[in-house]
Amino acid sequence: MTHWHEWTDEQIATWQQALTAVEEGDLTTLGELADQGFDFNQRGPNWTGAPYVARTVYRDDPPVSLIQVTIDQVEFVDDPAEIERQPQTLRFLLEHGASPNDSYLVRLTPLGHAVQMECEVHSTDGVLMDGRLVRPLLEAGADPLLPADNGQTALDHARRTKHESAVRLMEEDRRSPSGARTGMALLGLVLALAGAVSGVGAGASSAFLSGLILLVSAFLLRSRRKPTRALWKAALLVLGMSLLLASVTSGTLLVTFIGAAVFILGLEFDSNRRRTRARVVS
């Protein structure tokens, strides 16, 4: 990843546009940047003014990540009605490539940082975040047992600060999904692919059975993380395809209609959810 000192003025200006959008919770602008291929996992100067000032005054300051800025912005939330703005921004960044385990502070991981800011907001402003920052990080794959530079994990930090909702969420995340469930999901994926291939030549029953296996595997994971959502999507696609194959041999219009509906649902699964978030203007 190129250090921001090597960026052109245009690249710095684009970074500053993203920085401002994160600070304001402007998901529309962030969505436009995502469409342009912006890298939300990079780090840059914490400055939104003239690029030459960033190159001189802020040259020796440590670069910031957009996740770091997003979590920091919670400190400025003084209206309970706006409490969802930063969690929405955080989810957007995570869904568009920002790493949930990229340590950027000496003492904290992003998950530990989220725990700290939720505690500070609660103690100073009386606003109860109740895991609103912790939850999307866990769903994106943040590791509650990943130690920071001082050896302290996010779970340790949550226990020490008595952040009970964060402790509960992280302990639940540790229990699910287990290695056995993940293995079953991978097995379901292999069987689904094999069934889909054989179903084209030998009928739709094997593809339909594989789709059911994949569907059960996704259910067993009981998680909203990206890999699990991908399993749900694959299951719907395989089931829809198998029903369409069955309709070719049976000639039943109802089966054709159901198969097409399931297949389209699989195509739209999760992608519609992301587009909806991108259109939200806080």
- In 3D space, the residue among 76, 93, 63 whose CA is nearest the CA of residue 274 turns out to be 93
| Structure-token match 């402790």, residue found | 167
Residue 257 pLDDT level (bands cut at 50, 70, 90):
confident
Q: How far apart are CA 277 and CA 215, in angstroms?
A: 26
Q: How far apart are CA 58 and CA 7, in angstroms?
A: 14
Residue 276 pLDDT exceeds 50: no
> CATH for 4-175?
1.25.40.20
Residue 273 pLDDT exceeds 50: no
Q: How far apart are CA 232 and CA 217, in angstroms?
A: 9
Q: Higher pLDDT residue, 110 or 236?
A: 110
Q: How far apart are CA 34 and CA 28, in angstroms?
A: 10
CB 154 within 8 A of CB 119: no
Phi, psi of 178 (to 5 degrees): -85, 170
CB 189 within 8 A of CB 214: yes
Residue 162 pLDDT exceeds 70: yes
CB 115 within 8 A of CB 161: yes
* CB proximity list for 255: less than 8 A, separation 6 or greater: 243, 246, 247
Q: Is 188 exposed, middle or buried (0-12, 13-18, 19+ CB in 10 A)?
A: buried
- Residue 90: per-residue pLDDT: 94
Give this prediction's pTM. 0.63
| Structure-token match 């912005």, residue found | 73
DSSP per-residue string spanning 154-204:
HHHHHHHTT-HHHHHHHHHHHHSS-HHHHHHHHHHHHHHHHHHHHHHHH-S
Share of the chain above pLDDT 70, in %: 61
Locate the domains of the chain by residue range: 4-175, 179-277
What is Dmax (Cα atoms) for the chain?
A: 73
pLDDT tens, position by position, 42-73: 988 887 777 777 777 777 778 889 999 999 88
CB 6 within 8 A of CB 63: no
Helix axes 110-125, 164-175, angle to 10 degrees: 150
